[in-house]
């Protein structure tokens, strides 16, 4: 007489002749790796197992389906460029001399119109 399986976890272990368990283990490993490598402090992934049970005359067909949703990658941040003299600049045109460095006191006073 064949053994009767009443445990859900036992049934999972023998579905697809053990290949389901291998697939789930592989997907779990891949998901954990993706979460560890994710750049954000907080990330989310989902592993979904769907079992479709179909009655076929005097037997049951159980078809497993595994879907994995890995954490979404954030896009690479853009850099703003300003068109300047036929080229590109990362400095705003009205602030071009902002980073020229400190000027001597006399030069600064002359620029402001102080005598």
39-50 pLDDT, tens per residue? Answer: 888 899 999 999
SS3 content of the chain, % helix, strand, coil (to 5): 35, 25, 40
Q: In this predicted structure, what is the pLDDT of residue 83?
A: 75
Which residue did the predictor score with more confidence, 107 or 26?
Answer: 26
Which residue did the predictor score with more confidence, 104 or 51?
Answer: 51
Q: Which residues of 60-71 are buried (b: 16+ CB within 10 A; e: fewer)?
A: eeeebeeebebb
Its pTM stands at: 0.59
Mean pLDDT of the residues in the chain: 83
75-100 pLDDT, tens per residue? Answer: 666 777 667 777 777 777 677 565 56
Q: What is the mean pLDDT of residues 89-115?
A: 65
For the chain, the structural domain boundaries read: 8-69, 82-112
Is the Cβ–Cβ distance between 107 and 100 less than 8 Å?
Answer: no
* Band (59; pLDDT cuts 50, 70, 90): very high
Q: In this predicted structure, what is the pLDDT of residue 96?
A: 57
Q: How far is CA 22 from CA 68, 77, 79, 105, 114, in A?
A: 14, 38, 44, 74, 81
């Amino acid at each position: 007489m064949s053994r009767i399986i009443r445990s859900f976890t036992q049934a999972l272990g023998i579905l697809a002749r053990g290949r389901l368990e291998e697939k789930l283990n592989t997907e779990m490993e891949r998901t954990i790796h993706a979460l560890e490598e994710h750049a954000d402090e907080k990330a989310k992934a989902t592993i979904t197992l769907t079992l479709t049970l179909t009655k076929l005359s005097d037997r049951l067909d159980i078809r497993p389906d595994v879907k994995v949703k890995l954490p979404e990658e954030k896009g690479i941040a853009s850099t703003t460029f300003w068109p300047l003299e036929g080229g590109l600049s990362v400095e705003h045109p009205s602030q071009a001399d902002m980073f020229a460095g400190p000027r001597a006191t006399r030069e600064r006073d002359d620029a402001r119109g102080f005598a």
